[in-house]
Amino acid sequence: MEKYVINGGKKLQGEVEISGAKNAAVAIIPAALLVDGVCCIENMPQISDTDMLLTILKDLGAKVRLINKSTVEIDCTDVHNGDAPYDLMRKIRASYYLIGAMLGRFGAAKTTMPGGCNFGVRPIDQHIKGMTALGAEVEVKNGFVYAETRDGKLHGTRIYLDKVSVGATMNIIIAAALAQGRTIIENAAREPHIVDLANFLNSMGADIRGAGTDTVKINGVEKLHGGTYAIIPDQIEAGTYMVAAAATGGEVLVKNVIPRHLECISAKLRETGTIVQEYGDSVYIKGASNLRRTNVKTLPYPGFPTDMQPPMCVLLALAEGTSVMTEGVYDDRFKYVNELRKMGAEVTVDGRVAVIEGGKPLTGAPVHACDLRAGAAMVTAGLCASGTTVVEDIHFIERGYENFVGKLRALGADISLVNFPEEPDNADKVIAIG
């Protein structure tokens, strides 16, 4: 069983290069199904979520070729609307984009209900509302989503989202790219990866305007052609290193970023006394010797990202005084707090609000990654704690962080990926593998 073993107490120092954005990549890969020709996608993050989606495309008949570490060529010319590998679909949230992509390409789709991190109920009613408005008949039965158009085509329409949803906005954009006529999405989400998806599709011949605002207009086109596209840097990966640098009192240059996408994180870090300096495509972080308390509320972009909530809680646990973290997106995203408490953090949770009595020293402990970003938070806590922290269930973390151990080690962290024998009795006989 693979775990991360962290000997904490080292300040992060040096430079780290950010990979392509996971939440853009996981929409762009399914969207490639719409492209008539070869699309070459650069800055593709090497993480298990993108691996799984590429495997799903291959199963549908796509030719997928890795050109180098971060460039993938996808040719969906010969894809068929067969049974996709449902066991993989079930594991990832982003498999919901296959509904829009398969409907756009084949006029019909069968997928599983999506998996992903468990933050309480995560319905897809707004996705279904969008597909239905575009003319599909959608039925959810026995854990599967069946969607079908009457005449093989989707038809443009006006869709008002009842909830600002990243996934529904992107799914409707994908579905509408080849629909007949114009689609208008109102109350759309505005995250940078939504703009990236629209830019990808536009570079292949789509006509999408307004992405990044709350009204997105999609004029359906006949077909999309091949081309080359580079995915934007990952806002959350960058934010995770920024927070880890600040929490350890380190000094790190976070490279290959779009500083504008990080402003919501930079602003809150500055309130804690952290020095944040923005350059063209990098951000310099210098941790404060005495972190200051602050309050944070997560919101859709351009608000403070919910995906940064767990790592930020770790930082606030180290800051002297009482901080309040309010979760504005999900009902149940504080499950990891129990793990943080094992390390000495004083946090109480009431519904969507966590009260953090900061300034208590963290001590190493065996902890679980409850989900992707909670896992990143456990690693951050381990880096700041005295003694050894062992993080289990790291497969969650590897869904979204490329070469996490390698990048942290390059910054001076004492972290290793260790393969523990299955029997707990032999847990002291560890085999280090990187």
Enumerate helices (H) and strands (E) in the chain, giving the number of each: 13, 24
Four-CA torsion 98, 101, 106, 112, nearest 10 degrees: 10
Among positions 163, 209, 260, 395, the unique one binding ligand EPU when judged by CB under 6 A? 163
Dmax of the chain from CA atoms?
65
Q: Tell me if 395 contacts ligand EPU by CB under 6 A.
A: no
CB of 141 to ligand EPU, least distance (A): 18
d(CA 142, CA 196): 34
d(CA 356, CA 314): 9
- The separation between the first and the last C-alpha atoms of the chain, rounded to the nearest angstrom, is 14
Which residue's CB is nearer to ligand EPU, number 124 or number 252? 124
Contact 2, 375 (CB under 8 A): no
Q: Tell me if 105 contacts ligand EPU by CB under 6 A.
A: no
Binding mask 317-336 for ligand EPU (x = CB under 6 A): ------------xx------
Q: Tell me if 239 contacts ligand EPU by CB under 6 A.
A: no
Q: Tell me if 242 contacts ligand EPU by CB under 6 A.
A: no
Q: What is the DSSP letter of 344?
A: T
Structural tokens at position 340: 């943080």
Q: Is the dihedral of CA 80, 81, 86, 92 positive or negative?
A: positive
Q: Which residues between 111 and 140 bind ligand EPU (CB under 6 A)?
A: 117, 122-127
CB of 75 to ligand EPU, least distance (A): 24
Contacts of 230 (CB under 8 A, 6+ apart): 20, 41, 42, 43
Active site residue 39: no
d(CA 286, CA 55): 40
Q: Tell me if 166 contacts ligand EPU by CB under 6 A.
A: yes
Which residue's CB is nearer to ligand EPU, number 165 or number 248? 165
Among positions 373, 379, 385, 397, the unique one binding ligand EPU when judged by CB under 6 A? 373
List the catalytic residue out of 39, 40, 76, 117.
Answer: 117
CB of 34 to ligand EPU, least distance (A): 18
Q: Tell me if 156 contacts ligand EPU by CB under 6 A.
A: no
Residues that bind ligand EPU (CB under 6 A): 22-23, 26, 93-94, 117, 122-127, 163, 165-168, 189, 306-307, 329-330, 372-373, 400
